[in-house]
Amino acid sequence: MAGLFDKQAEVYLEARPTYPKEWYMKLAALTPKHSLAWDVGTGNGQAACSLSEHYQQVVGSDISEEQLKHAMQHPRVRYIHTPTSISEDEMINLIAGGHENSVDLITVAEAIHWFDLPQFYSLVRRLLRKAGGVIAVWGYNNTVVSLDFDLLMKPLHKKMLPYYDPKTSYLWEGYRTLPFPFESVGLGREGEPMELDIKREQSFQGLVRFMRSCSAVTTAKDQGVDLLPEEVIEELKQVWGGPDLVRSVTVKAFTLVGKL
């Protein structure tokens, strides 16, 4: 999975949507202690750095060394490379100095669908505080622009689907089928994720960078297929309203939050 995002790591940092500060404030309000947070699959570190406003120490981990090279830096954020070969005990040592049940908040932004879930959830149960610890996972699978633009995107998305890894099916189903064996805290539950609408200002060039950062586009390119040729970009540009227009868009996100 790491290789899917290594090649576009720098683009990923620039293109991916950010999450509102209010979201992190809401999560922080759920944990009575604010000593340690762990952001798993941290990628460019945007969630880890946002968590640092609420937690004394944040660990951001990722299996992609290339992503970590481009991660945003913060004095309270420590990044660690976690290859798939690493053991559970080694992970506990790296994240929490060997102390089990010591993590206040575990977050996974747009990444849990890639994980070995039984293995990850076993680690969560060992690391998360039994009293007051919270795990929050979230993702997004669509950006709503306008009726005409969204209609134009549908056939393009259909062309992309064969190049997505089967694990992304959890994402396209809005995490409704994602196993999440934790007690609800009122922000979604297994089988019933809570929907989130993220408003943002989007430039056309930013949208194109976002599309090019998708794993399906990279996979297709490796197979000699260009999913975003110039004629497609030009058609999208015209319906968007021109290359210099900045539009208000809505990122359709969803979340599951729970405790032990």
The answer to whether domain 2-141+165-197+251-259 has CATH 3.40.50.150 is: yes
Region 13-31: what's the mean pLDDT? Answer: 83
**Around 235, how many Cα atoms within 13 Å sit in the side-chain half-sphere?**
13
Distance CA 32, CA 88 (A): 26
pLDDT digits (tens, 9 = 90+) for 111-150: 999 999 999 999 999 999 999 999 999 999 989 999 999 9
pLDDT digits (tens, 9 = 90+) for 210-243: 888 888 998 999 999 999 999 999 999 999 999 9
H/E segment holding residue 149: helix 147-160
Q: Residue 77 CA to chain centroid, in angstroms?
A: 17
The helix/strand/coil state of 51 is helix
Which of the residue ranges 35-44, 62-71, 73-82 would you say has the lowest mean pLDDT? 62-71
Asked if residue 166 lies in contact with residue 140, where contact means CB atoms within 8 angstroms, the answer is no
- CB-based burial label for 1 (10 Å; 0-12, 13-18, 19+): middle
Indicate the average pLDDT of the chain: 92
Q: pLDDT category, 16, cuts 50, 70, 90?
A: low
| pLDDT value at residue 260 | 96
| pLDDT value at residue 4 | 47
What pTM was estimated for this model as a whole?
A: 0.88
